[in-house]
Chain A
C-alpha cells in the first residue's frame, strides 16, 4: 500500500465517547501532521511531529491528544468532544517539517460527526 492511509473513513461519536483516529504513511517521510477541515474555513493545523517528536501544537483543546509512536504512524485520541468538533480530520506527511518547504501528502481523512 502506498501514500497516506487514514482509518476510519467515517466516525460518529457521542460527546462522552472516547475514540482514536489512525494514520499511516508509506512514503518514508520524517514529519506527520494533523489538520482539521471545516466548511468555508481554511485548513487548520493541529499538530506537527518531526522524527516522532511534537514540534508544534496550535493551541488545540486538550480533548484532542496526539500520539506518534514511530515515523510511520500517527494517532489522534478523542474524548469528551463537542458538536463543533465535527469536521474532516486530515493526516499528512512530508519529507521535512522544519522549513515547511516540502509539499504535504494528505490522506483522505476521517469524517467525524459528534452527536
Chain B
C-alpha cells in the first residue's frame, strides 16, 4: 500500500480555471510535508513545507493546506506557465527518509 498518494494523476485546466491537487497519506506522526514543482527536463523545485494540521502557505497563485490525513495545493486562476508536475513528499519519523508521491501533471491551456 502506498504511503503517499497524489490525485489526480493528470489535470487539464483552462487559463483562469481554479482547482486543487490532493496529497493523501497513511503514515502517523507526520513531521513535515513538502510540495515541489518539476518542469520537463529539470529537477524538482521546492515550493512549501507544512508541519502541522491547519497550517497554510501561499506563493503567488498557489496555496498549500494541511489536515491530519491530506494536503491540498490550491491553484487560483492558473496561467499556462503553471503547467508542471507537482510532487508531494513527507517525513514522519526522525531520521526517516522523505517519501515521495508519484506526482500530478498539470496542464494549463490559454
Contacts and interface: CB of A to CB of B under 8 A. Distances in A.
Q: Do A and B bind each other?
A: yes
Interface stretch (B13-21, B36-44, B64-72, B75-83): B36-44
A15 to B, nearest CB: 25
A58 B49 CA distance: 24
* Interface footprint category on B: 20 to 34
A92 B43 contact: yes
B97 A100 contact: yes
B38 to A, nearest CB: 8
A103 B49 CA distance: 7
Given A42-B102, A43-B87, A104 B46 contact: yes
B84 interface: no
Contacts of A104: 34, 44, 46, 98
A42 to B, nearest CB: 4
Interface residues of A, number: 23
B32 A108 contact: no
A42 B99 contact: yes
A40 to B, nearest CB: 7
Contacts of A103: 34, 46, 49
Nearest to A91: B43
A101 B90 CA distance: 9
B54 to A, nearest CB: 19
B95 interface: yes
Interface in A52-75: 56, 58
Interface of B: 4, 31-32, 34, 36, 41-46, 49, 87, 89, 91, 94-103
Given A45-B97, A45-B98, A101-B31, 4 more contacts: A42-B100, A43-B100, A92-B43, A109-B43
